[in-house]
Homo-oligomer: A and B are copies of this chain.
Amino acid sequence: MPDPRLSALTTPCLLVDETRMVRNIDNLSQHAANLGVTLRPHLKTTKCVEAARYVLADGTGPATVSTLAEAEVFAQAGITDILYGVGISTPKLNRVIALHRAGCRVTVLLDNAVQAQAVADASRAAGIAIPALIEIDSDGHRSGLTSSDPALIEVGRILHEGGADLRGVLCHAGESYGAVGRAAHAKCAEQERLAVVDAATALRDAGLPCPIVSVGSTPTAHGAKDLSGVTELRAGVYVFFDLVMAGIEVCSVDDIALSVLTTVIGHQTTRGWTICDAGWMAMSRDRGTAAQRVDQGYGVVCDEAGTVIPGLIVLQANQEHGVIARHPDFEGDTPDFPVGTRLRILPNHACATAAQHQHYHVVPEQSGAPLMMWSRFGGW
């Protein structure tokens, strides 16, 4: 029977299953508590004040963000401890200073002497010791210094002696997204831990302060068994999870809390295709499962209530059209959907799919209660 709460929505639109989201949040909070570290959730996935309230213990932090636009919105909403987790550039430091003056303690991230000097200079000029972490590389994924690089101490000294507030080190095991299974993620987590603990030791041995030792990615956060020497853990996409995380066994498909509601608008009968109104504008162009064992196209098809329909994916996507078809590897029968049928699509990558939308329609835990609508923001 159609859900009248969903029938009232214009498609395509973004749905959140509150029950699953709360379960995902509780699971990682418990795991972080068991490991004895502070959880610093990454708010880049949801970019939503209401969703942030679910992940932040007392509503004020600690939090991680990926843009200064996020820092500014969340500071307005009362969050006072924010890590801006992308390498700082000089022109952005005036906005960091403005946030500090407004009462929000923003920590910046960097991995080179040019940035360190800019942060030190801005700290002196403003009379505010800007808190900074040095990024450490554990797997050659992207950014960061290795723990044995002499530049680590040089960067630390520029910050510490130059008037900034050297807070410590941070590592993100980006390669963990390519590893499959809990054991593999545990290994990535240990590599991430060792890199950052070694870097912390190097800084302290050089007489520099290092109170913060930060690690995290959703796979390593869930896989970590021991975080000795680490003070805080970061993760973001775990709030919603997605097909990429299910594909590497961080979660199951039934944990995915985010989906796109769509309507069937036609058929291409000669090809066995059902055409729906969720194209890439609604799903994003993210094809994160393409490199995984099971390529889920542009998403897994569920009925309107969110139950997976075996064997059906969004095989192709144009801007406002999705092509629903049988998965190439599936041999069973799949149902036909008349024009007007409503379906849900589970996304490859929650961060990317959510970014295509301005609102979340939240299906509440309490059965039959009205949907909640939460705003989402973007920009830099």
Q: Is the CB of A321 within 8 A of B142?
A: yes
User: A214 vs B94: C-alpha distance in the bound complex, in angstroms?
Assistant: 53
Whether A87 sits at the interface, judged by CB under 8 Å, is: yes
User: A7 vs B92: C-alpha distance in the bound complex, in angstroms?
Assistant: 12
Whether A358 sits at the interface, judged by CB under 8 Å, is: yes
| A49 CB, nearest partner CB in chain B, Å | 18
Q: Is the CB of A112 within 8 A of B13?
A: no
Which residues of chain B are within 8 angstroms of A292 by Cβ–Cβ distance? none
Whether A277 sits at the interface, judged by CB under 8 Å, is: yes
Whether A263 sits at the interface, judged by CB under 8 Å, is: yes
Which residues of chain B are within 8 angstroms of A90 by Cβ–Cβ distance? 340
Which residues of chain B are within 8 angstroms of A282 by Cβ–Cβ distance? 380
A86-B320, A174-B318 known; A112 and B267 CB under 8 Å?
yes
Q: Is the CB of A266 within 8 A of B319?
A: no
Q: Is the CB of B143 within 8 A of A10?
A: no
Q: Contact partner of A380 among B10, B275, B355, CB < 8 A?
A: B10
Name the residue of chain B whose CB is nearest to the CB of A12. Answer: B380
User: A274 vs B266: C-alpha distance in the bound complex, in angstroms?
Assistant: 46
User: A64 vs B13: C-alpha distance in the bound complex, in angstroms?
Assistant: 22
Q: Is the CB of B140 within 8 A of A268?
A: yes
User: A140 vs B275: C-alpha distance in the bound complex, in angstroms?
Assistant: 13
Whether A364 sits at the interface, judged by CB under 8 Å, is: no
| A72 CB, nearest partner CB in chain B, Å | 11
Q: Contact partner of A66 among B137, B319, B378, CB < 8 A?
A: B319
Q: Contact partner of A265 among B89, B266, B355, B380, CB < 8 A?
A: B89
Which residues of chain B are within 8 angstroms of A358 by Cβ–Cβ distance? 378-379
Between A and B, 26 residue pairs with Cβ closer than 8 Å are A7-B91, A10-B68, A66-B319, A86-B265, A86-B321, A87-B275, A87-B321, A88-B265, A89-B265, A89-B339, A89-B340, A112-B266, A114-B338, A137-B268, A140-B268, A140-B271, A142-B321, A142-B323, A143-B268, A143-B275, A280-B352, A282-B380, A285-B285, A285-B349, A355-B356, A356-B378
